[in-house]
Chain A
Amino acid sequence: MDLYEYQGKQFFASFGIPVSPGGVATTVEEAVALVAGLEFPVVIKAQVQVGGRGKAGGIKLANNVDEVRTHASNILGMDIKGHIVEIVWIEKASDIAEEYYASFTLDRGAKQYLGMLSAEGGVEIEAVAADNPEAIARIHINPVDGLTDEACRAWVAAAKLNPIATEGVVEILQKLYRAYVEGDADLAEINPLILTPEGKVHALDAKVTLDANAAFRHEWAEYEATQVRDEREEAANAKGLQYVGLEGSVGIIANGAGLAMSTLDVVNQVGGSAANFLDIGGGANAEVMAGALEVINNDPRVKSIFINIFGGITRGDEVANGIVAALERVDIAAPIVIRLDGTNADEGRAILKTHESDRLISLPTMIAAAEKAVALAGGKSK
C-alpha cells in the first residue's frame, strides 16, 4: 500500500523523524486558512502517486496569501500523467544546503534488510545507482540484530556526507529504521533528506509503502480509504479477490497467482487476450466463486469467460457449487469455459455435468479450454 507524501510525513513524524510543519488542503479556501498558521514562504505540493510532479507544475513556492490562492487553484484539479490532483500538501519552505538520500527495504536475494544512503540525493536513486554506484553506501542488516549504533555510524561514514550532518543523520536513520520495521513498511525512503544552512537535518519528502499483510496490527483505515483503485479492482477487492484489469476480451478466473498468470499466457499463446487477472485465492468457496463471476460479468469487455481451477486448497466441488450458485443468482452474459482438476475434481465435474450447455462448457485441458474461450470471444485477436 503506497502512501501519499503527506501520509508518509505523518507516518515519519509519528516515529519522531523531523519533517517540515504543514498540512493538507482539498480546496483553495482550506489552503488559504492553512497558511495562516505557517511562516512564508511556503511550498504547495500536489499529492499524487506518480513521479515527475515538479516538472508538471505540481510543486510551487508561494510568498504570500495571493500566491497561495493562485497556485492552489492551479494545482488542485490538475492532471498529472492521468492522476487528478485532489489534495495539496502545504509546508514551510526549507533552506537547503545539501540533499541526501536514505532508505530501507528488503533485499530478497540476501534475505536481509538493505539500507541505502547517499550524498547525492534529490534525484532518482536509480540514476545514481546506474551512473555512479559508489556514491551509494549500502548496509545489510540482519533483522535479528537490528541496526546497531556502531554499524549505523560506520555506514554514515562510508557515505561521506558533510561531517556536520553526521549526528543528525545517525539519529534520523535510527528512527527511519524503527519506522521501517515497527511500522511494517516494505519501503521507507527519504529523498531528499536535507541539511539546512543551520546544520539541521530533516526529511523533505517521504516515500512509504506499507505491507498490507500487517494491517491487522496497525491503525491504517485512513491510509486504506485514500487508495486509488480502478473501479473493477475495487469491486473485486471488496469481495476479497485479487484482480488486475487488462484490455482483452477473455475474462479469466483462476485459483492461485501462478496459475492465473499462466492462464493469461496460454490465452495469449492461442491468439486471444485476457480482460483481467483474477485470482480467487486459496480456500475459495462457492461464495467467492459467485462473487468472481459477478465481477467479470460487470466488465463490458468480456466476451467469454475462462475458469481455470486446479484444486489444492480450493476444492473442485465448492468451485462447481459456486458456478451453479452464480448462474442462479446473476444472468451471466458471456459463455463460460471451465477446466477443473485436482482436489475433489470428480465431484466438481459431476455437479457441473447436469448444468452443461453451449453457455457452460467443461474441457479437460488448459490449452483446449483456452482455445475454446478465445474462439467464443470472437476468435484470434491478432
Chain B
Amino acid sequence: MSIFVDENTRVLYQGLTGSQGRFYGLRNKAYGTKVVAGTNPKKAGTDVEGIPIYGSVAEVVKETGATASCVFIPAPGVADAVIEAAEGGVKLIVVITEGVPAHDEARFYNKLRRDFPDVRLLGPNCPGLISPGKCNIGITAGEIAMGDGPVGIVSRSGTLTYQALYELTQQGIGQTTCVGIGGDPVPGTTFIDCLSAFEADPDTKAVMMFGEIGGSAEEEAAEFIATKMTKPVVAYIAGVTAPPGKKMGHAGAIVSGGKGTAEAKMEALREAGVKVGNNPTEASALMAEVVASL
C-alpha cells in the first residue's frame, strides 16, 4: 500500500510543454507513472513525445480519466491552474512551482477546502511524492527510492526529501510513500495530514519526518504524534546553526522572536517520543534501528 497515490493514479501535467514540465513529465513517465496527458490551450492537439496535449484539465479528465495533476506552470499562473485542476475533476493536485505569492496560496487553499473538500493539494514549492515502483509525481529522482515499505517519509524540504530516501535506500530499507510537503507559508498538505495517512496505511510500519526551522508545523506534528500515533517516528530538523532573523531561502525558514528554533522543535518531538537525529545520516541510522526492531 501507499498513501495519496498508487499504480492506478493517472497523471496529467499542467505545463508539460515548458522545459521543466517536459523534462520531469517524461522522467516520471519513464519511471512507470501513468502519464496520460498535458495541457496547454495554445498547443491543444499536439503532443510531447507521444503524450497528448489538451486545451484544459476538464477535457483531459473526460478523455483520459486522469485522477491527478502535476503543476509546472510559472508562479503568476499557479492560482488559476490549481482552480482549473480542481474544477476539472482531479483529486490530487501537486504544485512543484516555487515563488507563488503567499496571498494566492492562502486563497486557493481555502477555496479548495470549502468547494472541493475531497481534493488534496500538495505544495506549492514542493518536490512532489513518490510511491516507489508505482507512481512518481514531481521532481524526485526515482532511482534513489526503493519500494515495498516499511517506512513512510514526509519532509518539508525538497533536497532533504531526496537525502532521506537515499539514506534509507543505501541501508536497504524500502519506502511506502515519500511526500515532500514544501516549505511555503501555506502548504496544501501538512505533516499531520501525512502522519495521519501513514498511521492508517497498514504497510507503513514507521515514519521518517524531516523538518526545518520556522513556523510551528513540527510542534503541531509532535502534538499529533503524542496523542494519535502508534507507529514509531524518527525525525531530523535542519537549521540548528541558522542565525535568528535571517530567511534561509524558504519563505517559512526563519527564526523570529525566538520562535521556530530547531532546538525547540527537536525538544517537542523528543517529548512526543520521537527519536531525533542530529543530521540526515544519523536520523537514517536511528530509523535502521527502529526497522530492525519491528
Interface positions of A (Cβ within 8 A of B): 106, 108-109, 111-113, 126, 142-144, 181, 184, 186, 211, 213-214, 216-217, 242, 244, 246, 254-262, 264-266, 268-269, 274, 277, 279, 281-283, 310-313, 341-343, 345, 365-367
Q: Which residues of A contact B127 (CB under 8 A)?
A: 312-313
Q: What is the interface size of chain B, counting residues whose CB is below 8 A from a CB of the partner?
A: 64
A267 to B161, CA, bound (A): 20
Q: Which residues of A contact B159 (CB under 8 A)?
A: 254-256, 258-259, 310, 312
The answer to whether the Cβ of B279 comes within 8 Å of any Cβ in the partner chain is yes
Q: Which residues of A contact B249 (CB under 8 A)?
A: 242, 256-257, 260-261, 277, 279, 281
A108 and B252 contact, Cβ closer than 8 Å, known pairs A258-B160, A282-B139: yes
Q: Please determine whether A277 and B242 come into contact, CB atoms closer than 8 angstroms.
A: yes
- Known A184-B102, A268-B240, A281-B98; 20 more pairs at CB < 8 Å: A106-B102, A111-B110, A143-B103, A211-B102, A213-B75, A213-B100, A214-B103, A216-B76, A217-B76, A242-B249, A254-B159, A258-B160, A261-B248, A262-B236, A265-B238, A277-B242, A277-B248, A279-B249, A310-B159, A313-B139
A256 to B139, CA, bound (A): 13
Q: Please determine whether A113 and B106 come into contact, CB atoms closer than 8 angstroms.
A: yes
| A130 CB → nearest B CB, Å | 11
A262 to B240, CA, bound (A): 8
| A271 CB → nearest B CB, Å | 12
Cβ contact of A269, chosen from B98, B106, B243, B278, cutoff 8 A: B278
A274 to B183, CA, bound (A): 23
Q: Please determine whether A257 and B257 come into contact, CB atoms closer than 8 angstroms.
A: no
Q: Please determine whether B158 and A312 come into contact, CB atoms closer than 8 angstroms.
A: yes
A264 and B20 contact, Cβ closer than 8 Å, known pairs A257-B183, A366-B280: no
A144 to B241, CA, bound (A): 38
Interface positions of B (Cβ within 8 A of A): 20, 24, 27, 75-76, 96, 98-104, 106-107, 109-111, 114, 127, 139-141, 144, 155-163, 166, 183, 185-186, 210, 212-213, 215-217, 220, 236, 238-243, 246-253, 257, 278-281
A213 and B242 contact, Cβ closer than 8 Å, known pairs A258-B158, A262-B279: no
Q: Please determine whether A265 and B220 come into contact, CB atoms closer than 8 angstroms.
A: no
A109 to B281, CA, bound (A): 30
Q: Which residues of B contact A366 (CB under 8 A)?
A: 163, 279-281
Cβ contact of B215, chosen from A108, A261, A282, A312, cutoff 8 A: A108
Q: Please determine whether A265 and B279 come into contact, CB atoms closer than 8 angstroms.
A: yes
A–B complex contacts, Cβ < 8 Å, 17 sampled: A108-B215, A213-B251, A214-B101, A214-B104, A256-B157, A256-B159, A257-B250, A258-B160, A258-B210, A259-B238, A268-B240, A269-B279, A277-B248, A279-B249, A341-B162, A366-B279, A367-B279
| Nearest CB in chain A to that of B127: its residue | A312
| Nearest CB in chain A to that of B162: its residue | A310
| B218 CB → nearest A CB, Å | 12
